[in-house]
Structure 1
Amino acid sequence: MLDDTAVENKGEVVYVADPKLLSWCDAVPVFRQRACLTHALIASYGLLHKMRVVPSEAASEEDIRKFHSQEYVEFLQRGVPEEEDEGAQDEFGLVCGLAGGSLTAARELTSGRTKIALNWCGGWHHAQRDMASGFCYVNDIVLAVLHLRSAFPKVLYIDLDVHHGDGVENAYLFSPKVVTLSLHRREPGFFPATGAVEDKGLGKGKLFTFNVPYKEGINDKQFVYLFESILYPLCEVFIPDAVVCQCGADALSQDPLGGGNLTLKAYTTCVTHVANLSKPTLFLGGGGYNKSNAAKLWTAITSTVLKCPVSAEIPEHQFFSWYGPDFELEVTAGLRKSSNTQESLDQTIKAVHGNIEKLAEVLGQK
């Protein structure tokens, strides 16, 4: 349950959550209970009292149609027979509910009521304009960016999920107002098999798309090296008015679908850099198929954004048993060897820096 007293506490950080949003998120079959796990862990550390908790307002059909095609919206309204797709939802209200969390957070930012908003029930970055993909039915990120642009002309989208943020990239492929920056695993057979470093956008949006692919087993040092080497040079050229950061947890060690070897430290370091940009920022969830580890990550990021350190020992609460046998807020790296080398990382960085230099020329900075 939500702690109602937290709603009255005014803080610099807005946290979007309410029982309906949590239940909508938990209704997605592959993520059952993950939203409640995350919320309960954040609450157990007393972090709700340090944020302004805002209930989500479901997206309207009009909101959904701002990105998704009429045919696809009608398809969602009809629902999909279970025998065709076990992951599909019968109620259009559910997808509107899921999309509403990120729109609610975006409205808090555009209103000026906050500089940082969190929605761990958001981050559905694979949904395309006219089709579902990768457990994502409505692209809440694209809808949130569309709303943010009503107040902030230039938006930087950062994707830390192990899977390429293809749906968001495709939505803004032709836009010079939204830069998409995705760090992701890219190898033959790994979903969604997109996001090559050579993919830079199209038309007026050419050079506004940045892909940073890596290989299986990436570790903290390598991931942070990539991120730090690219974020600041990019932001010196494309100076964003607002930032959206998708924090998919599936690059963590022990994720059954990710193949990464990150700990919480890699993510919290990157999040600190994003917060240091001092722009209105929306932090979102995403993938994460080890549910307790995803809850740990988003709790750690919440703590980082609040600049409120928490104990390594997880407090006793209703889902305490999920965190055994150590009951600690930590995700240890595994023994998996990284397929990335210093040479391969530097080659990627060199290619991305080349794209940044070309973007600087386009923007008249060189």
Structure 2
Amino acid sequence: MTLASWMDESSSFAPDARTAKHTPFFEPVVNSFNDGGYRPNVSYHYNPNVSAYHYGVRHPMKPFRLMLTDHLVIGYKLHEQMDLYETRRATEEELLNFHSADYIEFLQRITPENSTKFADDLKKFNIGDDCPVFDGMYDYCQYYAGASLDASRKLISGMSDIAINWSGGLHHAKKYEPSGFCYVNDIVMAILNLLRVHSRILYIDIDLHHGDGVQEAFYLTDRVMTVSFHKYNGEFFPGTGNYDEVGVGKGKHFALNVPLQDGIDDESYVRLFKSVIEPVIAKFRPTAIIQQCGADSLGCDRLGCFNLNIKAHGECVKYVKSFGVPMLCLGGGGYTPRNVSRLWCYETSVLANVELNSKLPDSLPFRSWFQPDYSLHPNLGDRFENKNTKKYLDNLRVQLLENLRYLNQAPSVQMQEIPPDLQNITDDKEAQLVDRIKRESEIDKYKDAERYYVNKKDESRRGELLD
């Protein structure tokens, strides 16, 4: 009998209270021959401050979904299976690696109180209902971008095989403006950091919406391949992402888009995902993978129109993990907080190689949010009619494989060895540390000289003078 069945309420056996208190809510997944016994070192990157920000009462983006996710991860004791890192903010210089100086300056200066003074800039920088001005907006951007950069550093240094930052994945932000609830594009910044030492990066996006900001940033290069699964009808936000968007110039055929219709179900989505990703990885041969795991592609999402359940969404993450390539997993969309947190907790368990009991822990804070079933896997399917016919999906698969046919071999890149930023500290902080070490060295020299004098004095014979 497995641990999961032992803890199931429907089981014939029930542990006593003391046993139940010390019984974990997960069991290790036994590696099979197929996965080669891959047991990655997983790191979890977070900053508790990021969940405190608020877009507005009626705005669908709710950062407190990250707090619910962290509570679930801790409630299931998944933190015991990973390295935990509380991340620092991204610096202005790091944000400027992708975004324009005038846009970052605008984010620093704008507040709800002074926004009337920036009437022209509000139009220039696309500030409105989707991307409102709220208290601490620039700080919020620094926190989630800093976590993605920290996760990328752990992959570069080899300290992690898989790094997780659920606060990241804001894939719509452009170089000069915010878009679709996204103010700075942490994904692009993480990719730029990884490109310092990795020759080829594969970006996979399973959000409901097209990952247009990331695609646009790398549309002209063959070192980053973007693959996005999303709803597309020409009108649905952001209005891009048809299968004929394949890249330009050197980047031609290094953008792959999978446009889907309303109501796609678990079986159809997972089968299509695997049939596309397997040849992509085989042909492109990435040295690192970033997967954006937007939860708005789940069924019953506030802004969603798919019928995916949590296990199907997680199966896509599990499949990418199975290739054993260094991997950065990020959040993204998701507008029903209780389901967002369920999904990202489950996918954390998939990446950490453990299986969770479907019944939520009794001691979980905010457990009432998950009523009435208090389950990790509620039924989220069958809400929408599936308009993705077998003929449509077969034709789409043929078209996508035809696009991949042009990738005869993985692009080669001449690389120079760049020492990774292992310390994850800013230049200012590094200068302060150097100054402190110098001062401590001077003190140590003085103390060494004093100790030498005292020792010699103690060793001298009676009546002997010591200079």
Aligned pair partner of 1:169 in 199, 207, 215: 215
1:9-28 paired onto structure 2 within 5 Å: 12-23=41-52, 26-28=53-55
Contact between 2:300 and 2:383, CA under 8 Å: does it hold in 1? no
- TM-score, normalised with respect to structure 2: 0.73
Aligned pair partner of 1:345 in 393, 405, 409: 393
Contact between 1:181 and 1:209, CA under 8 Å: does it hold in 2? yes
What residue is the counterpart of 2:232 in the other structure? 186
In structure 2, distance between residues paired with 1:186 and 1:312: 33
Contact between 2:342 and 2:376, CA under 8 Å: does it hold in 1? yes
Q: Alignment partner of 2:406: what SS?
A: helix
In structure 1, distance between residues paired with 2:176 and 2:46: 28
- TM-score, normalised with respect to structure 1: 0.92
Distance 1:28 1:103, change over 3 A: farther
Contact between 2:50 and 2:63, CA under 8 Å: does it hold in 1? no
Residue 284 of structure 1 and its aligned partner are, at CA, apart by: 0.5
Aligned pair partner of 1:88 in 111, 133, 139: 133
Contact between 2:284 and 2:409, CA under 8 Å: does it hold in 1? no
Residue 352 of structure 1 and its aligned partner are, at CA, apart by: 0.9
What residue is the counterpart of 1:44 in the other structure? 75
Encode CA deviations 1:216-235: one digit per residue, 9 max, x unaligned. Answer: 01111111111011001111
1:1-366 paired onto structure 2 within 5 Å: 12-23=41-52, 26-29=53-56, 30-79=61-110, 81=112, 85=128, 87-91=132-136, 92-316=138-362, 317-332=364-379, 333-360=381-408
What residue is the counterpart of 2:31 in the other structure? none
Aligned residue pairs, count: 352
Unaligned runs of 5+ in 1: 1-10
Residue 331 of structure 1 and its aligned partner are, at CA, apart by: 3.3
Greater mean alpha carbon deviation, residues 30-39 or residues 298-307: 30-39
In structure 2, distance between residues paired with 1:171 and 1:61: 19
Q: Which has the higher Rg, Structure 1 or Structure 2?
A: 2
Across the aligned residues of Structure 1 and Structure 2, the Cα RMSD in angstroms comes to 1.7
Q: Alignment partner of 2:209: what SS?
A: coil
Encode CA deviations 1:25-55: one digit per residue, 9 max, x unaligned. Answer: x434421421101110111101011111011
Q: Alignment partner of 1:31: what SS?
A: coil
Residue identity over aligned pairs, in percent, reads 39
Contact between 1:173 and 1:202, CA under 8 Å: does it hold in 2? yes
Unaligned runs of 5+ in 2: 1-39, 117-126, 413-467
Contact between 1:21 and 1:101, CA under 8 Å: does it hold in 2? no
What residue is the counterpart of 2:420 in the other structure? none
Contact between 1:98 and 1:140, CA under 8 Å: does it hold in 2? yes
Distance 1:101 1:27, change over 3 A: farther
In structure 1, distance between residues paired with 2:315 and 2:299: 16
Residue 190 of structure 1 and its aligned partner are, at CA, apart by: 1.1
Residue 198 of structure 1 and its aligned partner are, at CA, apart by: 0.2
In structure 1, distance between residues paired with 2:187 and 2:244: 23
In structure 2, distance between residues paired with 1:134 and 1:208: 24
Greater mean alpha carbon deviation, residues 104-113 or residues 30-39: 30-39
Contact between 1:79 and 1:90, CA under 8 Å: does it hold in 2? no
Residue 188 of structure 1 and its aligned partner are, at CA, apart by: 3.9
